[in-house]
């Protein structure tokens, strides 16, 4: 991996920002996106070789991940057992789904600069929508998923159209309020449909056999992998489409976009809806993997979890969202088993209480990352990989900070 | 008629709690542009501090109650001042990162409270008078409602006097209006930031003790659930407007109470619909400035 990175730097050297990430090249294109078409074209050409390598590495990683259920690899301390066991596959599938959910949140925060605190509403709509439809209607899985998607599209349009009347921090508060209404609705258990605090077990009558039961965990694992690849592809496609460029331009300077004659409101609504639909898609597979819906999947806590993943990984970067989602899920799982271990139970209260609360450690880690590592894990890794030679330290940091401040 | 009176006074009591949380949120947003997700934790910590005081000194005397209110407010104020000085101040002018810091703080502190006091609600007793009722226009009203209303009215009065009559109050009002001008006049506006945060924290801590009596319990999630309604209140009232927060607190709480009783427990949804309507027709809030 290190050698290929240096190769990239040597082959595509000429421009000043050639050592930057694909994201920063995209940003360069985005700020001029509305005014001319030849400029992004040149950028694409220059970044072409590098992008090809990146996609190659990504493809190899996907193939490797796809083969994991057939291999007998052990990662002690990270996975509970060898890679072919259902326990490990379940955890890995969860990591990939969380990475995909974090990617859908990246659409909002990283691309369009929308700090939403209500993203769990769409994830939860996918989880509960599909669960309730499978529970009450006698239709096969795919039509049920289509129906859920349709409902989510309508929901995202309505909520987005109202919330986008305000921007910045008021937008965060309003999306939180709408998501809370959804959370309250699920908790109230209207007509016994959502199961209230207990949650809802997955009705398996109309599901295909290969998706049901612990024996088939590896099919669900492959499904999760497919969803991650699909979401990554869609997010990339939207981000590099004309709409994506306009969305980044809106994030950077809404007034200029309006002066050019484009409509920021519609573009933001589009990104909001696409992000919501992707989240609901991930939610549906999450339902199949967990074989049940729990109220946490629609709570404000879940949105905050997604936000933490994106920030931990690195704001404004797709790989950052993926890394953040995987890292958070693994860490959460490890910390939970640490909390229940005997080593912790023997400590004095002052140490035992904080260490037995995974969220305390994750919250503290999050604060430290925001304070001292604004580019997140990927930003830190890039800086570390490049070393001090180029004197361009802090570029990712600045980029992430800029993305965050554009959201205000 | 007696039902309407009961709902009205109960709604006012709930509105008083919303106001105690929302006032600090609204002022700190207006002055500093900080949306404080940890504000709920100030409240929860204040409530637990008040409960600890009551537990240790015998629950049913008025002196204990007064002491628990004072300790709750003081703990909230200290926690808020600490947050501002140690975490928020480093990220001056970077609003989203400030929000993220408070989100992390809220996650970490709620988990810590769960570790210390457990996840289950802790039930609380006050002076015997609290559990009695007073007859007002034919309605039997639980007495703790009156305490919340009186306390919130005193806090509102105190804040208004402080903002209108004192030098620091003037600096804060001027800062909300135009911060760069205040800085240009050579006034260290950061002191005002700490002050606003501390006052907001004290109000939240006080609100925590009162909320624990209003609901009859304390739990680590108490602050978070009130915080969401406080957000709604600040948006409806207009961000940065203290009067707006007061008016909207009462309106939101009354809507919630009446809808819960007459519209089959739909109070929370009616409030969110009210929020949507305000955003559609008056995005800056009832008393907010047009931006």
Per-residue pLDDT of chain B (291 residues; tens, 9 = 90+): 788 888 888 889 999 999 999 998 888 888 777 888 899 999 999 999 988 888 888 767 788 888 888 999 999 999 999 999 988 888 877 888 888 899 999 989 998 998 888 888 888 877 777 777 777 777 778 888 888 899 999 999 998 899 889 988 888 888 877 878 888 888 888 888 888 889 999 999 999 999 998 888 888 888 888 898 898 898 888 887 888 899 999 999 999 988 888 887 778 888 888 888 887 788 787 887 654
Q: What angle do CA B83, B47, B22 make, to 5 degrees?
A: 60
Give residues with Cβ within 8 angstroms of B231, minimum separation 6.
Answer: A173, A176, A177, B25
pLDDT category, A9, cuts 50, 70, 90? very low
B 248-267 → A contacts, CB under 8 A: 265
Indicate if the pLDDT at residue A332 is higher than 90: no
Confidence at residue A43, expressed as pLDDT on a 0 to 100 scale: 52
User: What residues of B are in contact with residue A407 (Cβ under 8 Å)?
Assistant: 96
Cα distance between the two ends of chain A: 36
Q: Which of A169, A177, A363 sits opposite B108 (nearest CB)?
A: A363
Other CB atoms within 10 A of residue A121 CB: 30
pLDDT category, A1, cuts 50, 70, 90? very low
Smallest CA–CA distance, residue B116 to chain A, in Å, is: 7
CB contact under 8 A, B279 and A366: no
Smallest CA–CA distance, residue B96 to chain A, in Å, is: 6
Q: Are A50 and A25 in contact (CB under 8 A)?
A: no
Which of A19-28, A169-178, A309-318 is predicted with the least confidence, judged by mean pLDDT? A19-28
Distance of alpha carbon B16 from alpha carbon A323, whole angstroms: 45
Q: Which of B94, B110, B228 sits opposite A177 (nearest CB)?
A: B228
Which of A359, A373, A375, A397 to mutate to test binding with chain B, by most B CBs within 10 Å of its CB?
A359
Other CB atoms within 10 A of residue A384 CB: 8
- Sign, Cα dihedral of B228, B230, B236, B240: negative
Give residues with Cβ within 8 angstroms of B39, minimum separation 6.
Answer: B21, B24, B25, B102, B200, B201, B204, B223, B227, B230
Confidence at residue B265, expressed as pLDDT on a 0 to 100 scale: 74
User: What residues of B are in contact with residue A360 (Cβ under 8 Å)?
Assistant: 107-108, 111-112, 115
User: What residues of A are in contact with residue B279 (Cβ under 8 Å)?
Assistant: 162-163, 165-166, 174
Instruction: Tokens for A32, please give them.
Output: 């001029």
Fold of A56-407: ABC transporter involved in vitamin B12 uptake, BtuC (1.10.3470)
Give residues with Cβ within 8 angstroms of A55, minimum separation 6.
Answer: none
Compare all CA atoms of chain A with the CA of B270 and give the residue at the minimum distance: A181
Q: Which of B29, B108, B269 sits opposite A359 (nearest CB)?
A: B108
User: What residues of A are in contact with residue B110 (Cβ under 8 Å)?
Assistant: 359
Compare all CA atoms of chain A with the CA of B101 and give the residue at the minimum distance: A367
Q: Are A155 and A181 in contact (CB under 8 A)?
A: no
> Residues A23, A24, A29, A34: what is their CA dihedral angle, to the nearest 10 degrees?
80
Confidence at residue A388, expressed as pLDDT on a 0 to 100 scale: 52
Distance of alpha carbon A34 from alpha carbon A31, whole angstroms: 8
Bridge partners, B127 (sequence order): none
Cβ of B232 under 8 Å from any chain A Cβ? yes
Q: What does each C-alpha distance from A80 to A61, A323, A334 come to in angstroms? A: 21, 20, 9
User: What residues of A are in contact with residue B280 (Cβ under 8 Å)?
Assistant: 162, 165
B62-83 vs B189-215: helix axis angle to the nearest 10?
140
Q: Which of B107, B265, B268 sits opposite A181 (nearest CB)?
A: B268
Bridge partners, A291 (sequence order): none
Smallest CA–CA distance, residue B107 to chain A, in Å, is: 5
Can you give the residue ranges of every domain in chain A? 56-407
B 102-141 → A contacts, CB under 8 A: 103-112, 114-116
CB contact under 8 A, B100 and A366: yes
pLDDT category, A394, cuts 50, 70, 90? low
Smallest CA–CA distance, residue A284 to chain B, in Å, is: 25
Backbone angles phi, psi at A110, to 5 degrees: -80, -35
Pairing of strands B122-123, B217-218: antiparallel
Cβ of B23 under 8 Å from any chain A Cβ? no
CB contact under 8 A, A408 and B100: no
Q: Are B45 and B106 in contact (CB under 8 A)?
A: no
User: What residues of B are in contact with residue A310 (Cβ under 8 Å)?
Assistant: none
pLDDT category, A8, cuts 50, 70, 90? very low
Which of A163, A169, A351 to mutate to test binding with chain B, by most B CBs within 10 Å of its CB?
A169
Confidence at residue B6, expressed as pLDDT on a 0 to 100 scale: 86
Indicate if the pLDDT at residue A44 is higher than 70: no
| Residue-averaged pLDDT of chain A | 79
Q: Which domains does chain B have, with CATH numbers?
A: 2-281 (1.10.3470)
Compare all CA atoms of chain B with the CA of A358 and give the residue at the minimum distance: B111
Highest mean pLDDT among A186-190, A394-398, B173-177, B255-259: B255-259
Location of structure tokens 């993203």: A119
Compare all CA atoms of chain B with the CA of A180 and give the residue at the minimum distance: B228
CB contact under 8 A, A401 and B116: no
Q: Are B33 and A169 in contact (CB under 8 A)?
A: yes
User: What residues of A are in contact with residue B283 (Cβ under 8 Å)?
Assistant: 165-166, 170
User: What residues of B are in contact with residue A120 (Cβ under 8 Å)?
Assistant: none
Which of A119, A184, A309, A358 to mutate to test binding with chain B, by most B CBs within 10 Å of its CB?
A184
Which one, of A40, A20, A44, A19, lies nearest residue A30 by Cα? Answer: A40
Q: Are B177 and B187 in contact (CB under 8 A)?
A: no
Distance of alpha carbon A382 from alpha carbon A175, whole angstroms: 33
Which of A123-127, A287-291, B144-148 is predicted with the least confidence, judged by mean pLDDT? B144-148
Q: Which of B35, B108, B114 sits opposite A364 (nearest CB)?
A: B108
Cβ of B282 under 8 Å from any chain A Cβ? no
Indicate if the pLDDT at residue A99 is higher than 90: yes
Location of structure tokens 């990239």: A8
Which of A170, A347, A362 to mutate to test binding with chain B, by most B CBs within 10 Å of its CB?
A170
User: What residues of B are in contact with residue A162 (Cβ under 8 Å)?
Assistant: 276, 279-280
CB contact under 8 A, A404 and B101: no
Q: In the 3-class helix/strand/coil scheme, how is chain A assigned residue by residue? A: CHHHHHHHHHHCCCCCCCCCCHHHHHHHHHHCCCCCCHHHHHHHHHHHHHHHHHHHHHHHHHHHHHHHHHCCCCCCCCCCCCCCCHHHHHHHHHHHHHHHHHHHHHHHHHHCCCCCCCCHHHHHHHHHHHHHHHHHCCCCHHHHHHHHHHHHHHHHHHHHHHHCCCCHHHHHHHHHHHHHHHHHHHHHCHHHCCCHHHCEECCCCCCCHHHCCHHHHHHHHHHHHHHHHHHHHHHHHHHHCHHHHHHHHHHHCHHHHHHHCCCHHHHHHHHHHHHHHHHHHHHHHHHHHHCEECHHHHCHHHHHHHHHHHHHHCCCCHHHHHHHHHHHHHHHHHHHHHHCCHHHHCCCHHHHHHHCCHHHHHHHHHHHHHHHCCCHHHHHHHHHHHCCCCCCCCHHHHHHHHHHHHHC
Instruction: Compute the average pLDDT of residues A21-43.
Output: 41
Instruction: Compute the average pLDDT of residues A307-320.
Output: 88
Give residues with Cβ within 8 angstroms of B83, minimum separation 6.
Answer: B38, B42, B102, B105, B197, B201
Q: Which of A166, A363, A401 sits opposite B279 (nearest CB)?
A: A166
């Amino acid at each position: 991996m290190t050698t290929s990175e240096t190769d990239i730097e040597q082959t595509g050297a000429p421009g000043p920002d050639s050592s930057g990430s694909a994201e920063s090249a995209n940003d360069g294109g985005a700020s001029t996106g509305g005014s001319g078409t030849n400029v992004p074209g040149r950028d694409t050409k220059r970044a072409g070789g590098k992008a090809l390598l990146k996609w190659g590495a990504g493809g190899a990683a996907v193939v490797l991940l796809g083969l994991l259920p057939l291999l007998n690899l052990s990662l002690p301390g990270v996975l509970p057992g060898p890679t072919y066991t259902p326990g490990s596959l379940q955890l890995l599938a969860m990591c990939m789904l969380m990475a995909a959910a974090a990617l859908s949140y990246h659409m909002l925060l990283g691309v369009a600069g929308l700090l939403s605190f209500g993203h769990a509403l769409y994830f939860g709509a996918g989880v509960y929508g599909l669960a309730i439809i499978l529970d009450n209607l006698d239709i096969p899985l795919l039509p049920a998923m289509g129906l859920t998607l349709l409902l989510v599209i309508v929901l995202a349009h309505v909520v987005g159209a109202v919330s986008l009347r305000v921007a910045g921090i008021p937008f965060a508060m309003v999306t939180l309020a709408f998501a809370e209404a959804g959370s309250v609705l699920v908790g109230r258990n209207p007509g016994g449909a959502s199961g209230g605090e207990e949650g809802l077990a997955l009705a398996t009558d109309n599901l295909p056999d290969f998706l049901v039961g612990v024996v088939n965990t590896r099919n669900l694992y492959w499904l999760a992998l497919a969803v991650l690849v699909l979401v990554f592809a869609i997010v990339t496609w939207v981000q590099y489409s004309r709409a994506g460029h306009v969305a980044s331009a809106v994030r950077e300077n809404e007034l200029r976009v309006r002066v050019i004659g484009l409509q920021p409101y519609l573009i933001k609504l589009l990104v909001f809806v696409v992000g919501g639909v992707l989240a609901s898609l991930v939610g549906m597979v999450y339902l199949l993997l967990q074989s049940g819906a729990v109220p946490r999947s629609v709570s404000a806590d879940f949105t905050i979890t997604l936000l933490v993943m994106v920030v931990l990984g690195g704001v404004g970067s797709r790989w950052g969202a993926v890394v953040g989602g995987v890292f958070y899920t693994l860490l959460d799982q490890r910390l939970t088993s640490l909390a229940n271990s005997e080593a912790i139970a023997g400590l004095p209260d002052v140490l035992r209480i904080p260490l037995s609360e995974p969220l305390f450690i994750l919250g503290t880690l999050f604060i430290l990352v925001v304070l001292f590592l604004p580019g997140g894990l990927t930003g830190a890794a890039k800086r570390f990989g490049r070393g001090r030679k180029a004197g361009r330290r802090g570029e990712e940091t600045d980029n992430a900070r800029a993305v965050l401040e554009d959201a205000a | 008629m007696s039902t309407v009176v009961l709902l009205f006074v109960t709604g006012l009591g709930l509105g008083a709690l919303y106001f105690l949380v929302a006032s600090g949120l609204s002022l700190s947003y207006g002055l500093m542009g900080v949306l404080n997700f940890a504000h709920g934790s100030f409240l929860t910590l204040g409530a637990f501090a008040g409960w600890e005081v009551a537990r240790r000194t015998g629950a049913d005397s008025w002196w204990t109650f007064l002491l628990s209110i004072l300790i709750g407010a003081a703990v909230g104020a200290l926690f808020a001042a600490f947050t501002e000085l140690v975490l928020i101040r480093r990220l001056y002018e970077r609003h989203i990162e400030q929000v993220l810091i408070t989100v992390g703080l809220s996650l970490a502190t709620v988990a810590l409270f769960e570790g210390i006091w457990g996840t289950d609600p802790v039930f609380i007793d006050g002076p015997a008078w609290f559990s009695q009722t007073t007859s007002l226009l034919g309605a039997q009203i639980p007495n703790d409602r009156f305490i919340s209303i009186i306390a919130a009215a005193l806090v509102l009065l105190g804040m208004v006097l402080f903002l209108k009559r004192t030098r620091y109050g003037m600096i804060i009002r001027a800062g909300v209006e135009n911060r760069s001008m205040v800085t240009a006049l050579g006034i260290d506006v950061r002191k005002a930031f700490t002050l606003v945060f501390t006052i907001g924290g004290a109000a939240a801590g006080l609100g925590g003790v009162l909320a624990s009596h209003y609901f009859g319990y304390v739990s680590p999630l108490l602050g978070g659930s009130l915080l969401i309604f406080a957000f709604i209140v600040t948006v409806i009232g207009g961000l940065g407007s203290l009067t707006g927060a007061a008016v909207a607190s009462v309106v939101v709480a009354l809507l919630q109470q009446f809808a819960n009783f007459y519209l089959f427990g739909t109070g929370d949804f009616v409030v969110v619909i009210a929020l949507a309507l305000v955003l559609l027709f008056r995005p800056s809030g009832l008393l907010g400035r047009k931006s």
